[in-house]
Chains A and B, each alone.
Chain A
Amino acid sequence: KNQVEQSPQSLIILEGKNCTLQCNYTVSPFSNLRWYKQDTGRGPVSLTIMTFSENTKSNGRYTATLDADTKQSSLHITASQLSDSASYICVVFLLGDMRFGAGTRLTVKP
């Protein structure tokens, strides 16, 4: 069983709409949590990084939240654009290790 679970597996939204992606993890000891965006056939690119003490981190239209008590994180995308179509991967960095979620495939349609 993957120790970093992402939901939904895939999502289709209309351009301009907002969406929220979820990441639940069970691993520890926690160091930090990252959200990556991966375009098809490309390497992942870091969007946000949050440490244990941070609850929210924004990067433009992307806002990540973290609840270290419940071990849940979310990535909220505001006013989606066609270029947001990609896979979004949640990665939990432990002390000396890391665990990857399987990703959420987001498709933004005009």
Chain B
Amino acid sequence: DGGITQSPKYLFRKEGQNVTLSCEQNLNHDAMYWYRQDPGQGLRLIYYSQIVNDFQKGDIAEGYSVSREKKESFPLTVTSAQKNPTAFYLCASQTGADTQYFGPGTRLTVL
């Protein structure tokens, strides 16, 4: 998993709750990414951050929020505004040479 950790591995959320997914990397990578994976679909970009204290919306940012206060950490919050949050969430970090490393993922299920 290339020095990227995600926690928890499994997460359950009740309707109306916000939950936060953790992503930590010790690879000294500047760029970090959050993707959502649904069955039969390619990974879709939620948010990305090229540098500390800066982040950009991806293709499906609605209902999600992020922060990048430290280079090593890029937590993703799934808010109650996300109407269909059940999915597999993948965090990745990247070197300048397009080498992207993925974390082990978090499976979020809405009860």
Contacts and interface: CB of A to CB of B under 8 A. Distances in A.
A41 B107 contact: yes
B105 to A, nearest CB: 5
B98 A43 contact: no
A34 B43 CA distance: 14
Nearest to B44: A100
Contacts of A34: 100
A9 B105 contact: no
A46 B103 CA distance: 12
A93 interface: yes
A21 interface: no
Interface in A45-68: 45-46, 49
Nearest to A4: B42
Interface of A is mostly: strand
A87 to B, nearest CB: 10
Interface residues on B, range: 20 to 34
B104 A43 contact: yes
Given A42-B104, A43-B1, A43-B105, A32 B40 contact: no
Interface residues on A, range: 20 to 34
Nearest to A2: B42
Contacts of B66: none
B98 A31 contact: yes
Nearest to A32: B98
A14 to B, nearest CB: 25
B95 to A, nearest CB: 12
A50 to B, nearest CB: 12
Contacts of A45: 1-2, 102
A103 B42 contact: yes
A102 B42 contact: yes
A93 B102 contact: no
Interface of B: 1-2, 4, 6, 35, 40-44, 88, 90, 92, 98-105, 107
7 contacts: A42-B105, A43-B92, A43-B103, A45-B2, A93-B98, A99-B42, A102-B40
The 3 A-B pairs with the shortest beta carbon distances in the complex, nearest first, are: A43-B102, A100-B42, A100-B43
